Amino acid sequence: MVMACAVALTPTHGHAEEGFDTEHIFGFMIGSDVGNPGEREFQSQTTGRFGKGGGTYRALEKEIEIEIVPLPNFRIELGAVASLHDITGVPDIDDRRQLNFQGASLDLRYRLLDRERAPFGLTIAAEFHGDRIDETSGAKGRMYGTDFTLAFDRELIPNFAIGALNLIYQPEWARFEVAGQSEKSSTIGAAFAGLVRVRPDVLLGGELRYFRQYEGIGLGEFSGQALFVGPTAYVQLSERSRLTLSWSMQAWGRPAGSGGNLDLVNFERHQARMVFGINF
């Protein structure tokens, strides 16, 4: 991954007139572009997570988002999430089948470097979310967290291939309603993506993401790790609408204190995402 990221961020000669807009082309990652001042977008994002260490595990999240760009290089996104859980016979998770309003989110992004004027694009993003339903177990409570991301990207071949790197830190705090139990956790990660233009309105590629989870928001005791890999497709449906499809499988992982080649305690076996957006 280090070698791939070094290649992705190495300057190349020349630049295409048309280029890429990386704001929405990735599935589970983000690009450095944030849109132009005055832009407004509606976005529908559906995320599925499937498979644990045993039994049946299905979790779906539907998020509706409104994005605005009030100032150059600065984007604001407001979102509301509903979740569906179908869990039966999974170790350490109660059985449940439920559909609930999960919570709300605020996503702020500021672009520090523009690819047009710098060797690579760089954006810092912070997504704040407050939930009443735990996204993994579906248990009720109060959950708060922040996703901090540094997003780098660069055109590897002008107007044909783009590479991106995300560095991630996710502290979370939860207090569950039934037992009154509090939990704190944190996750760090690095993700790399590459996409190529196969048609003027179609991009194909893949994403590779590595995560390490810890107890406590300050990266305390190690809990587990996982590596996800899978394909991504982006389609520009019209001048104002778009669709992104992504799927990832856990290719390798290991929970703390145990062997095996997958961590199905802290992570899922499969993850999928579909994002539809339209300018208005």
pLDDT at residue 18 in the model: 65
Domain membership of residue 226 (yes or no) is yes
Q: What is the largest CA-CA distance in the chain?
A: 60
CATH number at residue 219: 2.40.160.40
3-state DSSP helix/strand/coil % of the chain, to nearest 5? 5, 65, 35
Structure pTM?
0.91
- Could you tell me the two tokens for 85? 């859980």
Contact of 169 with 191, CB cutoff 8 Å: no
Classified as helix, coil or strand, 5 is helix
Domain total of the chain: 1
Domain presence at residue 196: yes
pLDDT (tens digit per residue) in 53-111:
899 999 999 999 999 999 999 999 999 999 999 999 999 999 999 999 999 999 999 99
Q: Residue 3's CB: how many other CB atoms inside 10 A?
A: 7
Residue 20 belongs to some domain of the structure: no
d(CA 188, CA 202): 31
Are the beta carbons of 8 and 192 closer than 8 angstroms?
yes
Per-residue pLDDT at 10 exceeds 80: no
What pLDDT, in 10s, does the model give residues 167-223?
A: 999 999 999 998 778 999 999 999 999 999 999 999 999 999 999 999 999 999 999
Instruction: Look at residue 8 in the predicted model and tell me its pLDDT.
Output: 37
* 19 or 261, higher pLDDT: 261
Nearest to 41 by CA among 13, 2, 5, 69: 69
Residue 33 lies in a domain: no
pLDDT the model gives residue 13: 36
Please give the sequence-ordered ranges of beta strands (E in DSSP) within 72-181, or none if there are none.
74-88, 96-113, 121-133, 140-157, 161-176
| DSSP type of residue 262 | -
Tokens standing for 51?
């498979």
As a whole number of angstroms, the distance between CA 156 and CA 10 comes to 8
- Residue 60 placed within a domain: yes
Enclosing domain of residue 101? 39-279
Q: What is the pLDDT of residue 6?
A: 37
User: β-pairing, 270-279 with 241-255?
Assistant: antiparallel
